[in-house]
Amino acid sequence: MAVIHHTTMSPGKLELLASWLPSQPWYAGDGNRPEPVKAGGFRLDDPDGEVGIEFMVVADLAADRPVAYLVPLGYRGAPLEGADHALVGTSEHGVLGTRWIYDGTHDPVVVAQLLALLQGRAEPQAQNDTGVHDRSVVPVLAPAGSGAVFPAGDPGDVATSVTQGGDATFLCVEGTPDVTVEVRRVLRPGGAPDGESLGHVTAGWRSPDGDELRGPFLVLRSAQD
């Protein structure tokens, strides 16, 4: 179970993201320094209790029209070997000490639990409370017989490749058959995703004006689509 420590982080997550977001190909800013504010999200548990997993939504107030971004994050107590390119930054946590914070699409533990969520094997947790199931996060699971089967077990056994798109990150997962998980980076309100899909996860976030919005965060598709 993920334990939420109500303590300090220096620098804070929003400060780190303000420096990291402009380097991402899906960032839609207009050249001004981002002004990210927290707009929603949820957490997943690492079964081994080593990696903190957060799916964070931030709204960028620097844009003419605020844009909501989905940023999966993996929090670690030591560097992740071979993942320097995915490091968002390091921060001093008031309880846990130095934390290495990674773009979760490149963290094998985060990816394994993302896949477990799409299979109904992981329960979304509240972003700010320990041990609280977040029922606003709704996985629509792959139908029986669809052939969407992922490797289970050790996260290191889940073979994925990462491709960045204009408004999403695509995780190609080797399974039976191969599937692609579309991580929606630029969030837009709406219902079920367009086109053929094997499953998806919808969740909510808040606009800077306080409106409650919902839309797809994750979409599972056949790699052949």
Q: What is residue 106's DSSP assignment?
A: G
**Is residue 3 assigned to a domain?**
no
pLDDT of residue 176: 53
- Structural domain containing residue 90: 9-222
Distance CA 195, CA 90 (A): 39
**Is residue 173 assigned to a domain?**
yes
**Is residue 1 assigned to a domain?**
no
pLDDT of residue 157: 61
**Is residue 154 assigned to a domain?**
yes
pLDDT of residue 150: 56
For residues 112 and 122, is the Cβ–Cβ distance under 8 A?
no
Number of independent structural domains in the chain: 1
Q: What is residue 119's DSSP assignment?
A: H
Distance CA 162, CA 155 (A): 15
> Cβ–Cβ contacts within 10 Å for residue 140, how many?
17
Burial of 102 (C-beta count, 10 Å sphere; 0-12/13-18/19+): buried
Digits of tens for pLDDT over the chain (225 positions)?
666 667 777 899 999 999 999 999 999 987 778 999 999 999 999 999 999 999 999 999 988 888 999 999 999 999 999 999 999 999 998 777 799 999 999 999 999 999 889 888 899 999 878 788 999 999 988 665 455 555 555 555 667 899 999 999 999 987 656 889 999 999 999 987 887 888 899 999 999 999 999 999 999 988 765
Distance CA 67, CA 213 (A): 12
**Is residue 171 assigned to a domain?**
yes
Strand-pairing partners, residue 164, are 169
**Is residue 4 assigned to a domain?**
no
Q: Pairing between strand 97-103 and 138-140?
A: unpaired
Q: Which run of H or of E encompasses 115?
A: helix 108-119
This prediction's pTM: 0.91
At residue 112, the 3 state secondary structure works out as helix
pLDDT of residue 224: 67
pLDDT of residue 32: 79
**Is residue 2 assigned to a domain?**
no
- Cis peptide leading into 25, omega within 30 of 0? no
Tokens describing residue 180: 């692609």
pLDDT of residue 223: 74
**Is residue 218 assigned to a domain?**
yes
Strand-pairing partners, residue 172, are 161, 180
Q: Going edge to edge, which strands form the sheet with 97-103? A: 9-10, 87-93, 97-103, 67-76, 52-60, 36-44
